Structure 1
Amino acid sequence: MDALTDLLRGVRADGALFHRTTLTAPWSLRFADGAALTLCTMAHGDGWIIPSDGAPLPLRHGDTAVILGPKPFRVVDELPDSDGPCQTPHTRSTDGLDAAGDPAPAGPATLIVGAYRAGADVGRRLPDALPPVLTVPGDEACDAVLDYLAAEVAAHGTDRQIVLDRLLDWLLACTLHAWFSRPEAHLPAWYHALGDPVVGTVLRAVHAEPARHWTVATMAAEAAVSRAAFARRFTALVGEPPSTYLTTWRMALAAELLATPELTIAAVARRVGYTDPFAFSTAFTRVRGITPSAYRAGHRDSAPEPRCQEAATGEQACDRTCPATVP
């Protein structure tokens, strides 16, 4: 058991959407598609990430940024100048033609964007463990992943979606692996608790056997300490009581299992420790804010095609549908 595995539990791209855009200055892209999670890689050139809230962050050549949704954000070549005029950026789509259908000159910046579509379930543990925007320098990311991703996004043909989905998951895992090794990363409290001889023993056991009949008493017995001592120690180190952690973890597993159509809701309930499907449904609804049936139905629904909008850095808005969306 490790932090990254737990945080990415159930996070799986399904119909991920990609943009590969080559731009010449001045340029600015505004993303307002409500994606749950977006990754931006500056394949060539430099730019800036401007979130809805917070200070801009530089995005240099090779850097990858992870942006939590659903609020809009912008990627620009230079920070906005409120006195500047509104100019139309020149972009080149993946087929080498600009918006008018004419050959477009190669630009100094190429941005690759992958998004977990609006409505995608990225869990609750992952957003709670990340800042609204984070960036990982190019020399710390996965070069092999980025090279292969760039080639796949630019390619044409059938049966590409499953490849792009898994590449986005791979890039996310690589980027977060690099991020968690950085000093500014704030690891969850339960991750540090893994090193505790008492609480860590129970966390590993609960994760290995989620369907086991766990109570605070059985957890304490697993750690060979008294019930009261275990409850105090667990809450102090993890930041929540053992029963709350257990339920949240089980519901995270259940959300992943509900995406498997061959499993009935009763079967999912049994796999996460509930013999009564109604008790499971009540717990799932309380934790996730939606019934298991509604969650499963929503997971099958396709979200609308996302939009990235071009906008210049002046006070006026020059928003248009991004021409670089990969079909």
Structure 2
Amino acid sequence: MITSSQERRYADRLEEFAVRHPFLVDLATVLALLACATFGASLTLPNADPPDQDKTAVALMGVSCLVLLKHRAYPRIAVTVTGACTVAAVSMGYLLTPLLLAPIMAALYWLATLTERKTTRVYGITTLVGVIGAAVVADSMDHLSLLLRTIGPFFWLMLPLAAGNMTRLRRAYLQAVQARAEHAERTREEEARLRVTEERVRIARELHDVVAHHMALANAQAGTAAHLALTNPEQTKKILTDLTGTTSSALRELKAALGLLRQDDDAPGAPPLEPSPGLARLPELVSACRSAGLAVTVTTEGEPQPLSPGVDLTAYRIVQEALTNV
């Protein structure tokens, strides 16, 4: 038993073949329609004599099917010629059957799939009126009531119009879905590039804050130590010790910032990143500035509240930048 997945594969293969070889598909379709129309021209009602012009019907159906080979480029001309041939055949006394209507039904279907709705409406109504009018006055259908003469052609010609319209809407829907998918893909790529750019700016700003503060602080500590080297050796020794701590802190923060660029969360055994500095390290920052000879006073008002990591880091960097500027 053929599964649904196998049926889908076969349908995909047929669709790919139709895309690669459209003329072969059109030719096979036209030959099938010609066979149906030729056989339909030979049908009559019970106790009714067939028309004498058998070759005429074959010629008309041949012309109507031959013009269908150009339905992709000229769908309006295909409907017009096929409709005229069908009306002529019905007017000559051939019985109006779905087999005889096969070429015009195919032309109407392709018209509905390839043109806009207004064009389909105009050509469809014109074809309906012409074929139904020929069926009403045709001698071959004298045995049928007026209702049967009209409802049959109306039903069989409306069917391809409705099917073609549904096919056109389905194609438009698939194109819209594909366009939305492509737009979403482009949007995701743009968002990814934007996030990368924002992350680069953040890291650059972080590196600037770290380097500027620690270099300024180290410079101030070194200058103070040089100034006090002869007059106060004990204070100089303490400042140099603090200078070592300042440079070590700078190296740690630089390593943490640069580690963001090289960190691979999926790599096994990757060391965890250190937390970003915050107001909890404010005493350490104040102590380093005091060792450089800067008088710093910390005043806390109100009850300390926990801050989000982003706000905590921003507050720390503001204080750090202010002290660096001083």
Shorter chain as denominator, the TM-score bin is under 0.3
Larger Rg: 2
What is the TM-score with the length of structure 2 in the denominator?
0.27
Higher RCO (C-alpha under 8 Å, 6+ residues apart): 1
Structure with the largest fraction of strand:
1
What is the TM-score with the length of structure 1 in the denominator?
0.27
